C-alpha cells in the first residue's frame, strides 16, 4: 500500500493481512481525496484540518491526509495488532508529532478522552457493524465538531444505513463494493 499524493507520495504503508481488517483500497482512497478537493458541495478541505480517523486500522486515510497537509490526525483503533502497525507506520514516516492514537473502544474515547474539536471525521467501520451511527450521535452530543466540518463514511454499497437524521448528506459515491458517503453536521 502506497501514499498517493503529497509530501510523502510513493512511500509505503504497512498493513495487516487477516480477516479482521479491510484496508481501504488505493483507488477508493484516491477518489475520496479527489472529491474532497474538487467537489463544489464540499467546503472543508484536507489542508490545515484536524481529523478524527475512527476505525482507523493501520491508518491509511489519516496518513494520506497528513501527507496532503492536514495539521493533525487523531486515530482510534481497538485492534491491538492494527494499532501496532499504525504506530510503526507513523514512526517510519516521521508523523508521530502530528498524530495521536487511542487504542480503545470508540465510545470510551468520544465520551472521556477528547478535549478538542475536529474538521473532518472519517468512519471506516467493519461492513457488519450497524452500531457505528451511535458514534456519530456521540460526536454531535459532545459537540466535538468545528463549524466547518466534513463527515466521510466508507460502507459496503449494498448496505442501506439510515443516516439522514444524523447529518446532512452532501454526496454518495459508489466504487464497486464500496460506498462513500460525504456529509456535514449542521
Would 157 be classed as within a structural domain? Answer: yes
Domain count, the chain: 1
Would 8 be classed as within a structural domain? Answer: no
Would 10 be classed as within a structural domain? Answer: no
- Cα separation, 95 vs 87, whole angstroms: 9
- Cα separation, 94 vs 138, whole angstroms: 31
Would 6 be classed as within a structural domain? Answer: no
Q: DSSP class of residue 165? A: T
Q: What's the length of the chain?
A: 186
Would 73 be classed as within a structural domain? Answer: yes
Look at residue 20 in the predicted model and tell me its pLDDT.
Answer: 56
Which residues form the domain of 130?
26-184
The chain-wide mean pLDDT, for the chain, equals 92
Look at residue 21 in the predicted model and tell me its pLDDT.
Answer: 56
- Cα separation, 180 vs 124, whole angstroms: 10
What is the tens place of the pLDDT at every residue in 128-175? 888 899 999 999 999 999 999 999 999 999 988 889 899 999 999 999
Look at residue 22 in the predicted model and tell me its pLDDT.
Answer: 61
What is the tens place of the pLDDT at every residue in 49-103? 999 999 999 999 999 999 999 999 999 999 999 999 999 999 999 999 999 999 9
Would 159 be classed as within a structural domain? Answer: yes
CATH of the domain at 43: 3.40.50.150
**Residue 94: partners with Cβ closer than 8 Å, 6 or more residues away:** none
Amino acid at each position: 500500500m502506497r501514499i498517493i499524493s503529497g509530501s510523502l507520495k510513493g512511500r509505503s504503508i504497512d498493513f495487516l493481512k487477516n480477516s479482521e481488517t479491510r484496508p481501504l483500497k488505493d483507488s477508493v482512497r484516491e477518489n475520496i481525496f479527489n472529491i474532497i478537493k474538487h467537489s463544489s458541495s464540499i467546503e472543508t478541505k484536507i489542508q490545515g484540518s484536524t481529523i478524527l480517523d475512527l476505525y482507523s486500522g493501520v491508518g491509511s486515510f489519516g496518513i494520506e491526509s497528513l501527507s496532503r497537509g492536514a495539521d493533525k490526525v487523531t486515530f482510534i483503533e481497538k485492534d491491538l495488532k492494527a494499532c501496532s502497525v499504525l504506530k510503526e507506520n507513523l514512526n517510519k514516516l516521521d508523523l508521530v508529532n502530528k498524530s495521536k492514537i487511542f487504542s480503545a473502544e470508540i465510545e470510551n474515547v468520544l465520551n472521556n478522552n477528547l478535549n478538542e474539536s475536529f474538521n473532518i471525521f472519517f468512519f471506516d467501520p467493519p461492513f457488519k457493524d450497524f452500531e457505528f451511527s451511535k458514534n456519530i450521535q456521540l460526536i454531535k452530543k459532545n459537540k466535538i465538531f468545528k463549524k466547518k466540518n466534513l463527515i466521510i463514511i466508507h460502507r459496503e454499497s449494498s448496505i442501506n444505513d439510515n443516516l439522514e437524521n444524523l447529518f446532512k448528506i452532501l454526496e454518495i459515491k459508489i466504487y464497486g463494493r464500496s460506498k462513500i458517503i460525504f456529509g456535514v453536521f449542521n
